[in-house]
Chain A
Amino acid sequence: MIRVELDVMLARRKMKLKDLAAEVGISVTNLSLLKTGKAKGVRFETLAAICASLDCQPGDLLIFEKEED
């Protein structure tokens, strides 16, 4: 499964979700969905905007974890 580490990156950058939403240009609700892992997918456009805003790579935000049976 893919785990979203947005909260970790936000903490590192000392940034609030509200400010990131304003910078990226998407709603706080959608960003919150992404942060809590409820989102089913991320558009490349959104990912690029988040990476640009947080000055990081997609790999810093998305981590693959092997699921145990």
Chain B
Amino acid sequence: MRRSFFRAPALPYLLVAPQLVLTLVFFYWPALQGLYQSLLIQDPFGLRTSFAGLANFAAVLADPLYGNAVRVTLVFSAAVVAGAMAVGLVLATAAAQPLRGVQVYRTMLVWPYAVAPAVAAALWLFLAHPSVGIVGRALVRWRLGWDYTLNGTHALLLVVVASVWSRVAYNFVFFLAGLQSIPRSLHEAAQVDGATWFQSFRWVTLPLLAPTTFFLLVVNALYSLFDTFAVIHALTKGGPGKATETLIYKVYVDGVVNLNLGSSSAQSVILLILAVVLTSFQFRFLERRVHYA
């Protein structure tokens, strides 16, 4: 086996430099600034600053409203991840069948991914709003008492559905690719052995999809934690009450609306640690059960 070397020792560094600079400027620098800010008590204009130690963290962790945001986030994330992956898998399984015009279905199923989250949320608003939305008005007319502007459960349901909808296309693409990479001979072998469709799905398809599923689990968990901000912002702004205020939304509210930079930074540091822990946990415990074919 031949290995290639770069003659000029500087060249490889030069080649990765743009990516490194981007990462440093747009990730590490703000992260470090956030860490620094989380240790300070400061007015929004930065005119008066005092060192607070870990007081901001202590205040955040002692705040019962932070506990509420943690609970909302757990319910929300679990529902979004489960919903988006389940629907994506069902659609991918259906679209993997040899059908007439399957390319059309596939293309159309990918479309929602191209819709920006804020636009998707506006779309759902026009569907679900109890007085201007088409579906919302129907629900009210059927006396189901639908009103997500005042009912916390309705609001949470709505942001979950909207977030799932924006994410399904992404999962669909990956599941479809995963399904297509499974050799047909395996399914044929299973059929010869007398397996039903479900048995073949359960014992052949799912295990071979495990790497895809695992990857999507990690990515969807991060999506539900961080990228659902726009949907919540456009639909409920965290309300009614604090029924849809997730951790990331609380970071925004406390930092940008309430101008409490210390608390907001402390929360984002906690969120960062949470994301790291969650991801490494998934890799440590779940990856063992994944077989890369």
Partners in one complex: no
